[in-house]
Amino acid sequence: MLEIQALTKNFGGVVAVDALDLTVNEGEIVALIGPNGSGKSTTVNLIAGIFPASGGRISFKGRDITDTQPHRTLECGIARTFQNIRLFNELTVWQNLWVAQNAPETRKSENFVKRWMSGSAAARRSVEEELAFANLAEKRDELAGNLAFGEQRRLELARSLAANPSLLLLDEPAAGMSLEEVKALDGRLRTLQGRGITILLVEHVMELVMGIAGRIAVLNFGRKIAEGTPAEVQADPVVREAYLGTAEPTAAGAAG
Amino acid sequence: MQFWYGLAQLIGVHTILGLSAYVVLQTGQVTMAQAGFFAIGAYVSGMLTTIAGWHIVPALFIGGATAAAVAAIAGFPALRVKGLMFVVATIAFGEAVRLFWFNFTYQVQQGAVKVGPQGGEGFKQIRFFPANGWTDLDRAIFILAVMAIVMAGVWWLDRSRAGAVLRAVGEDDLAAQSVGVNLTAVKVSAFAIGGFIAGVGGTLYSHYTTHIEHANFGVVLATFAIAYPIVGGLHNVFGTLAAVIFIQGFLVEGLRFLGDWRNLLFGFLIVVAMNVSPRGFVSVYRDLSPYWRRRVYGGAIVTVVLVLAGETAANEIVAAVEGVLGNTGLEYNHMAWIAFIVVMAGWSWSGLAAAVRLLPAGLRRLSALLRDAVGGSAVRRPRKAA
C-alpha cells in the first residue's frame, strides 16, 4: 500500500533520514521506533508532505506522492496526527471535526455551497460517529483548548479519522498518557484495524508497540537498523545496542 | 440632527471597512491592504456614477468586484509570505494603490465643468446623492442598510463551515493543511471577500464625502481598518461595530472639544480599552451575566431614543449642565456624546454601581501593566532572593 524507497532528507548538513526503505501493507499496523532524533517524525512529515524530500520516492496505492502538498496527500487517503497536539483550540470539539470534512467521497456527494455552508448530512453523521467513537460526544460544544490532555489526544485522532483515511500516520499518540489511557488507545487502534484502516505508528511507549504492531522497523541516525516482528526486534543485538549502549546487557530488554 | 445623520454615515462606512479586515484577520493574516481596496472601490464607483452616469447600486457591486479582483490577483504573491513580511508586503501594496490614484487623471467635460479623477488634485464632484435629491436621512438609511447587509453576510459566514475553516487556518495553518484544507485557495478567497467588502465601503465613502483624494487612503486608514475588529474582538461581527462606535463616535467625534489633547487621549484610551478587554469588546459582553446584558441592551436602546429625540433633548441637557456650572462653552455635539457615554456605561443607578465596582479591577490591571513596563518585560519575573 505504502512504499518508501531510498527516502532521504537533509537539513543543511544533517542527514535526518538516510536512504530509508519501508513497505506498509494494507491492513497492517507497522511501528517505527528508535531513539530520540533518529528520524521517525521526519519520516512521517515526509510522507504527509510537510516538507519536500531530498531524495527517494514515496508511493501510495501505486501513485507517486513524493513532495505532494499536505492537503493533497490527505485527499489520497493519508491522515496524520502530530507529536505535539495541534488542535484548533479556539474552535469547539464539534467544529474541529467539521473543518476536517475533506474526503473526496464526501466531496462528490455534495455541491459546493452545501459543502462550505454546513456539510452534507452524511458528513455530519460521520462527525457524530467519530465523536462517539472518541468518547467525546458530551464535550461537543466545549472549546478544544479547554479539554484535558487525554481528551485532546482523542480529539486529534478523531479529527484525522473524520477525513475517512485508508492510512493513518500516528506520531507518538501515547506520549504522556497513563497506563490505562494507553490500554484504551490500544483497544481503539485495534478497532480501527478492524475497520480496515492501515496504521503507521511512531511510538516510544513499548507497552503499546510490542502488543499491537504486526511489524516493527527500528531507526537509528536516520537509518533502518532492524525490521521484523516484535519478538525478533526485541531479540536483535543491534537494537539493544542502539537503545542501551554497548557496555552491558541488562534485563530491561529492548524496550528501554 | 444633521450631526447624527453624518455620524451614522461615518459609522456605517467605517464598520464596512472594519468588517473587510475582520474576514482576512480570521485567517491569521494582519492585512494593511484594506485601505487600498477601499480606494479602488471609491474611485471606480465614483467614475461610474459621475462619468458614466450609473445608479449607485450597480456601482456598488462593480466597485466591490473590481477591488475583489485586484485582491485575488495581489493575494497569490502576497500570501506566500507570512507574519511581519505579510504586513510589510500589504503596506507596500496599499501605498502602490494610493500612488496609482495620485498619478491617475481621467476627466470628461460635462456641461460647464470637467469631472473625473485629477491626480493629486483629487476626485471632486462625486455628486450622485445631491444630484438625485437624497437627503441626509436617505443617505444615512442607505449606508446603514448596506452595512446591515454586509454585517449579516459576514455573520452568516462566521457560522458556516467556511468560517470555521478560516478560523482553523488562522489558528494553525499546518494542522489545517493536514486535515485537507487547501491553504492557498482559502487565504486567497478570504482576501478576495475582504477586498469586495472594502470596495463596497469605498463606494459609500466616496459618495458620502463627494470629494476624495489619494491622501485619504494612506497607512492611517489601513491601521484603523484592522484596529476596529481587533479592538472589538475577532469572535463576533458586532464587536467591530462596537469598536467603530467607540473609536469614531466617541474618540474622534465626541472628544473634539478637547482640541489637540484629543489625539493624546485617543491613543491612551485605545490602550486602556485593549487592556481592559484583551480579547475584544465582545468577550467583555459575553462575560456579563444576563442581568448586566439587559442593562447594556437598555443603554443602547435609550441612546437611540435620545438620538431620535434630537437636538431639543440634548440642548436641555446642555442647559441643565450650564445651569449648574455656568457657561461652559460646551456645545450640543459634546454634550450629546457625554450623555451617550454616561448612558452606555451605566444606564440606571445599578449600572453606575457596576461601573464603580469594575473600577478597582481595571486599575489593578493598569497598575500591573505599568509595573511590567517599568520592569522592562511583559513577563513577570520572580523576585530574586536577597
Q: How far apart are the first and last CA of chain A?
A: 31
Nearest C-alpha neighbor of B59 from the set B68, B46, B77, B76? B46
Tell me what percent of the residues of chain A surpass a pLDDT of 70.
Answer: 91
Is A163 in contact with B179 (Cβ distance < 8 A)?
yes
Residues B57 and B141 in one domain: yes
Taking contacts as CB-CB distances below 8 angstroms, the residues of chain B near A75 are: 180
Which of A73-87, A90-104, B239-253, B327-341 shows the lowest mean pLDDT across its residues?
Answer: B327-341
Query: Looking at the complex, does the CB of residue B183 fall below 8 Å from at least one CB of chain A?
Result: yes
- For the segment A161-170, the average pLDDT, to the nearest whole number, is 89
Q: Containing domain of residue B365, as a range?
A: 288-375
- For the segment B94-100, the average pLDDT, to the nearest whole number, is 93
For chain A, the average pLDDT equals 86
The count of other CB atoms within 10 Å of the CB of residue A197 is: 20
Is a pLDDT exceeding 60 seen at residue B343?
no
Residues B224 and B292 in one domain: no
Is a pLDDT exceeding 90 seen at residue B13?
yes
Residue B372 contacts by C-beta under 8 Å, 6 or more apart in sequence?
B378, B379, B380
Q: Which CATH superfamily is domain A1-69+167-172+199-256 in?
A: P-loop containing nucleotide triphosphate hydrolases (3.40.50.300)
Q: Same CATH topology for A1-69+167-172+199-256 and A78-164?
A: yes
Q: What is the pLDDT of residue B378?
A: 45
Quick one: how far is CA A55 from the chain centroid?
Answer: 22
Facing residue for A88 by CB, picked from B175, B177, B182: B175
Rounded to the nearest 5 degrees, what angle is found at the Cα of A194, between the Cα atoms of A193 and A195? 90
Taking contacts as CB-CB distances below 8 angstroms, the residues of chain B near A90 are: 167, 171
**DSSP secondary structure code for residue B212 in this structure:** B
Is A118 in contact with B161 (Cβ distance < 8 A)?
yes
Rounded Cα distance between A234 and A32, Å, is 14
Residue A214 contacts by C-beta under 8 Å, 6 or more apart in sequence?
A28, A29, A30, A229
The 10s digit of each residue's pLDDT in B41-85 is 999 999 999 998 899 999 999 999 999 999 999 988 877 888 888
Is a pLDDT exceeding 60 seen at residue A110?
yes
Is a pLDDT exceeding 70 seen at residue A106?
no
CB pairs under 8 A between A and B: 78
Taking contacts as CB-CB distances below 8 angstroms, the residues of chain A near B186 are: none
Residues B208 and B295 in one domain: no
Strand order in the sheet with A63-64: A14-24, A2-11, A55-60, A63-64
For chain B, the average pLDDT equals 82
Is a pLDDT exceeding 90 seen at residue B96?
yes
Domain boundary among B229, B256, B278: B229
Residue A135 contacts by C-beta under 8 Å, 6 or more apart in sequence?
A154
Is B174 in contact with A86 (Cβ distance < 8 A)?
yes
Strand order in the sheet with A78-80: A78-80, A167-171, A198-202, A29-33, A215-220, A223-228
The total of structural domains in chain B comes to 2
Nearest C-alpha neighbor of B202 from the set B107, B25, B71? B71
**Looking at chain B, which residue has its C-alpha nearest residue A51?**
B174
Quick one: how far is CA A14 from the chain centroid?
Answer: 24
Inter-residue contact A126 to A98 (CB < 8 Å): no
Interface test with B, best of A45, A99, A130, A164 (most B CBs within 10 A): A99
The 10s digit of each residue's pLDDT in A189-242 is 999 999 999 999 998 888 888 889 889 999 988 888 889 898 888 888 888 888
Q: Is the Cα torsion angle B208, B214, B216, B217 positive or negative in sign? A: positive
The answer to the question of residue B247 being in a domain is no
The answer to the question of residue B277 being in a domain is no
Q: Select the more confidently predicted residue: B100 or B110.
A: B100
Is B172 in contact with A88 (Cβ distance < 8 A)?
yes
Q: What is the pLDDT of residue B125?
A: 84
Most confident region among A110-119, A180-189, A244-253, B340-349 by mean pLDDT: A180-189
Is a pLDDT exceeding 90 seen at residue B199?
yes
Domain boundary among B184, B207, B229: B229
Nearest C-alpha neighbor of A203 from the set A53, A14, A30, A15? A30
Query: Looking at the complex, does the CB of residue B80 fall below 8 Å from at least one CB of chain A?
Result: no
State how beta strands A215-220 and A29-33 pair.
parallel
Is A91 in contact with B160 (Cβ distance < 8 A)?
no
Rounded Cα distance between A165 and A75, Å, is 8
Residues B12 and B125 in one domain: yes
Rounded Cα distance between B302 and B347, Å, is 8
Most confident region among A125-129, A182-186, B118-122, B259-263 by mean pLDDT: A182-186
Q: What are the residues facing A216 on neighbouring strands?
A: A31, A228
Taking contacts as CB-CB distances below 8 angstroms, the residues of chain A near B174 are: 50, 70, 86
Taking contacts as CB-CB distances below 8 angstroms, the residues of chain B near A102 are: 179-181
Facing residue for A99 by CB, picked from B164, B182, B183: B164
Q: How far B212 CA sits from the closest chain A CA (Å)?
A: 38
Band of residue B302 on the pLDDT scale cut at 50, 70, 90: low
Taking contacts as CB-CB distances below 8 angstroms, the residues of chain A near B190 are: none
Which of A59-68, B200-209, B348-357 shows the lowest mean pLDDT across its residues?
Answer: B348-357
Rounded Cα distance between B17 and A43, Å, is 45
- For the segment B103-121, the average pLDDT, to the nearest whole number, is 86
Q: What is the pLDDT of residue A254?
A: 45
Quick one: A187 exposed, middle or buried, by C-beta within 10 A (0-12, 13-18, 19+)?
exposed
Band of residue A87 on the pLDDT scale cut at 50, 70, 90: very high
Q: What is the pLDDT of residue B298?
A: 66
The answer to the question of residue B265 being in a domain is no
Q: Domain boundaries in chain A?
A: 1-69+167-172+199-256, 78-164
Residues B183 and B91 in one domain: yes
Q: What is the pLDDT of residue B59?
A: 94
The answer to the question of residue B258 being in a domain is no
> ipTM of the assembly?
0.87
Facing residue for A75 by CB, picked from B160, B164, B180: B180
Is a pLDDT exceeding 80 seen at residue A52?
yes
- For the segment B325-352, the average pLDDT, to the nearest whole number, is 57
Residues B333 and B188 in one domain: no
Is a pLDDT exceeding 80 seen at residue A65?
yes
Among B residues 136-175, those touching chain A with beta carbons less than 8 Å apart: 160-162, 164-165, 167-168, 171-172, 174-175
β strands within B73-188, DSSP E: 108-110, 113-117, 123-124
Record the pTM. 0.82
Q: What is the pLDDT of residue B295?
A: 67
Rounded Cα distance between B369 and B283, Å, is 20
Residues B128 and B207 in one domain: yes
Per the listing, cell 491601521 goes with B223
Residues B224 and B293 in one domain: no
Is a pLDDT exceeding 90 seen at residue B338?
no
Domain boundary among B229, B264, B298: B229
Facing residue for A71 by CB, picked from B167, B172, B177: B177
Band of residue B374 on the pLDDT scale cut at 50, 70, 90: low
- For the segment B134-163, the average pLDDT, to the nearest whole number, is 92
Band of residue B352 on the pLDDT scale cut at 50, 70, 90: low
Query: Looking at the complex, does the CB of residue B179 fall below 8 Å from at least one CB of chain A?
Result: yes
Residues B71 and B206 in one domain: yes
Inter-residue contact B243 to B231 (CB < 8 Å): yes
The 10s digit of each residue's pLDDT in B273-286 is 777 777 777 777 77
Query: Looking at the complex, does the CB of residue B177 fall below 8 Å from at least one CB of chain A?
Result: yes
- Helix (H), strand (E) at residue B358: helix B348-375
Facing residue for B167 by CB, picked from A82, A88, A115: A88
Band of residue B346 on the pLDDT scale cut at 50, 70, 90: very low
Q: Which fold has domain A78-164?
A: Rossmann fold (3.40.50)
Inter-residue contact A2 to A200 (CB < 8 Å): yes
What number of CA atoms fall less than 13 Å from residue A162's CA on the CB side? Answer: 31
Facing residue for A48 by CB, picked from B160, B178, B182: B178
Is B160 in contact with A90 (Cβ distance < 8 A)?
no
- For the segment B170-183, the average pLDDT, to the nearest whole number, is 89
Is a pLDDT exceeding 70 seen at residue A247?
no
- For the segment B157-171, the average pLDDT, to the nearest whole number, is 91
β strands within chain A, DSSP E: 2-11, 14-24, 29-33, 55-60, 63-64, 78-80, 167-171, 198-202, 215-220, 223-228
Taking contacts as CB-CB distances below 8 angstroms, the residues of chain A near B160 are: 116-118
Is A90 in contact with B171 (Cβ distance < 8 A)?
yes
Q: What is the pLDDT of residue B98?
A: 93
Most confident region among B18-32, B112-126, B321-335 by mean pLDDT: B18-32
The grid coordinates listed for A14 are 544533517
Query: Looking at the complex, does the CB of residue B178 fall below 8 Å from at least one CB of chain A?
Result: yes
The SS3 assignment for A9 reads strand
The answer to the question of residue B136 being in a domain is yes
Rounded Cα distance between B160 and B137, Å, is 34
